[in-house]
Amino acid sequence: MEQKRTSGRTLAGDAYDAIRQAIGVGTFKPGDRLRFADLQALCNMSVTPVREALARLTAEGFTLLDDHRGYSVAPLSLAELRDVTATRQLCEGEALRLSVLKGDADWEARLIAAHHLMARIPQVRDDLPSAMREDWEARHAAFHAALVSACGSPILLELCEKLFSRADRYRRLSVSLNGGARDVAGEHRRLMELALARDAEGAARALREHYGQTAAALEGFFSV
Amino acid sequence: MEQKRTSGRTLAGDAYDAIRQAIGVGTFKPGDRLRFADLQALCNMSVTPVREALARLTAEGFTLLDDHRGYSVAPLSLAELRDVTATRQLCEGEALRLSVLKGDADWEARLIAAHHLMARIPQVRDDLPSAMREDWEARHAAFHAALVSACGSPILLELCEKLFSRADRYRRLSVSLNGGARDVAGEHRRLMELALARDAEGAARALREHYGQTAAALEGFFSV
DNA sequence: GAGTCAACGATTTTCGAAAATCCGTTCTAT
DNA sequence: ATAGAACGGATTTTCGAAAATCGTTGACTC
C-alpha cells in the first residue's frame, strides 16, 4: 500500500504538523477535547501515529493529557501569557546576551540575512492572505532564532525554541488584535543593530522589552 | 485479561518509569541503541506503550530518536554537563530568587520539612544499599523542588524539574566518584538558611555555586 | 425523595501482526 | 576491479481490532 508523505519522514511527524496547525488556525479551540476519531479523520491515518504526535505536542505544552480521558487543547490564559513572557525574557534574554558576546562574522551574516528576508514582507496585518502570514511567521521565527543562534548552549537554544512556539498562539492573537499600532519592524531592526554593535546588555534589554510590549498589547484581550 | 499496574495509571507510564530507571542504573549505557524487542521484554508489554514512553523520554533529553532507525540512550559528555549546569544556574537561580521574594509561611514550612527529611538520611556514599540511595535521591529532589516552589511561575518550575532530571545521570556519577569529599549537607543547610533569611540574591548565588561545584567535581571524569 | 450500585456507551489504551524502511551484502555490468 | 543495482534480514513504524477504563444512565433500596 502506498502512503503519502506530505512533509515529515514519518506519519507521526506529519500528524504533529497537521494537529499543530489545526490548533494554530483555530480548528480546535483552547479547552477543546481532542478525540482520536476526529484526529484520525483529519490526518487520514491510524491511531498510533496520532498518539505519538499528541505525546510530542503535550511535551511542548500545546495539549494536555488526562490519563484514560484523553487529550485536550491547552487553554490560553492571562496567567500563562505572563508566565511565558517572563520565562522567555529570562531565557532568550540570556541567550541573546551570550550570542552577542560569542557570535562571529558568520553569525552576523546569518542575522543580517534573516532580517532582510523578514523585512521584505510587508507589515503583518489581519487582512493579509493567510499563506503570506504563515510566511511572515516563519521568517519572524527564523530571525529570532538567528539572534540567539550563537549562544553556544544547545539546551538553552532548545528551550528558547520551545518557548517561542508556546508563545506562538498568543502572538497570533496579538497580530489580529493590534494590527499596525506598534512599530514591530522598527523594534526588530533596533534589535539587530544593537546585536551587531555588540551591545550585549542593551540587546538583551531590548529583547525583553520587545516581549513585554507584545504581552502588554494582549492583556486587554483577557480582561473582556 | 488482568494487567499489573506497578506505579502509574497506564502501562505507558510504567514503561516510562522502568526505562528511565534502567538508564539510570546503567542497564542501558549512553549511546546504546534501544531495541523495541529488548524493551518489550523488560517491561512485559506490547510495542505501543513502550513507544509512548520513549517519546516522553526523548522530549526530556534522555533518549534520542533517529527516524526509521529507532531510539538510543543520549550520550553523556563534558559539553552537555557544562551546558546543563549553566542552564540550571540560569533557570533555577532565578526561580529561587523569585521564590525567596514571594514565598509565604507555608513555603517556609515546606522547605524546612523537606530539608529535615533529607538530612535524616546519612551522607550519600557509594557503598550504601541502592534502595537507600534511591530514597536519598528522591528526598534531595524534593528539597530542591521545595526551594523553588514559591516562584509563582509554573513554566519555569517545569523547566527546573526537567533540567533537574536531566542532570540526574551526571549527579549519579558525581556520587560514586566523589563520595564524601564535599560537604554537600552543609551546602544544603546553607541554602535553606539563606532562603529563610530572605536573602534572595545570596540564596541564588549559593545555588549557582552549588551546581558549579557538582559540575567541577565531574570535569575530571571526562578528561580520562 | 435521596442515595447506591450495576450495566451500558463512548473513548482511550493496548495488543499482535502486517507493512515500510534501513543497512549490509551479493550480484552484475562496465 | 569498481560502481551501482538489487536482494535479504533486522528493525521500526503503522494498522485494525480487542481490551480496559471512565462517566452516565437508570433501576433498586432505604
**Is the distance from CB of A195 to CB of A147 less than 8 angstroms?**
yes
pLDDT at site A4: 45
Fold of B78-223: Four Helix Bundle (Hemerythrin (Met), subunit A) (1.20.120)
Contact A90 B87 (CB under 8 A): no
Q: Residue A208: which pLDDT band, with cuts at 50, 70 and 90? A: very high
Question: Does residue A196 carry a pLDDT above 90?
Answer: yes
Distance CA B114, CA B119 (A): 9
Give the contacts of A151 (CB within 8 A, at least 6 positions apart): A94, A95, A96, A98, A99, A102, A157
φ, ψ for residue A72 (rounded to 5)?
-145, 160
> Regarding predicted confidence, which is higher, B99 or A25?
B99
pLDDT at site A7: 57
Q: What is the ipTM of this complex?
A: 0.90
Give per-residue pLDDT as tens, A1-24.
344 445 558 999 999 999 999 999
Contact A155 B84 (CB under 8 A): yes
Distance CA B8, CA B98 (A): 32
What is the DSSP code string of A92-116?
HHHHHHHHHHH--HHHHHHHHHHHH
Question: Does residue B5 carry a pLDDT above 70?
Answer: no
pLDDT at site A1: 38
Separation in Å, CA B189 to CA A3, B111, B145, B215: 60, 11, 15, 19
- Residues of chain A with C-beta less than 8 angstroms from the C-beta of B54: none
Mean pLDDT confidence for A172-190? 78
Mean pLDDT confidence for B197-210? 98
Q: Which residues of A170-196 are buried (b: 16+ CB within 10 A; e: fewer)?
A: bbbbbbeebeeebebeebbebbbebbb
Mean pLDDT confidence for B80-105? 98
Nearest alpha carbon to residue B79 among A153, A156, A100: A153
Selecting from A52, A83, A86 the residue whose C-beta is nearest the C-beta of B51 gives A52
Q: Residue A171: which pLDDT band, with cuts at 50, 70 and 90? A: confident
**How far is A91 from chain B, CA to nearest CA, in Å?**
8
User: Does the CA dihedral B64-B163-B143-B82 come out positive or negative?
Assistant: positive
Report which DSSP code applies to A72: E
Mean pLDDT confidence for B195-221? 94
- Mean pLDDT estimate for chain B: 91
Residues 66-85 of B with CB under 7 A from strand C: 67-69
pLDDT at site B74: 97
Domain boundaries in chain B? Answer: 11-73, 78-223
Fold of A11-73: Arc Repressor Mutant, subunit A (1.10.10)
Residues 14-53 of A with CB under 7 A from strand D: 45-49, 52
Give per-residue pLDDT as tens, B40-52.
999 999 999 999 9
Tell me the residues of chain A between 140 and 199 that have a Cβ less than 8 Å away from chain B.
153-156, 159, 163, 166
Tell me the residues of chain A between 50 and 89 that have a Cβ less than 8 Å away from chain B.
51-52, 55-56, 59-61, 67-68, 80, 83-84, 86-87
Give per-residue pLDDT as tens, A70-112.
999 999 999 999 999 999 999 999 999 999 999 999 999 999 9
Size of interface A-B (CB pairs under 8 A): 71
Mean pLDDT confidence for B59-85? 96
φ, ψ for residue A70 (rounded to 5)?
85, -170
Mean pLDDT confidence for B9-31? 95
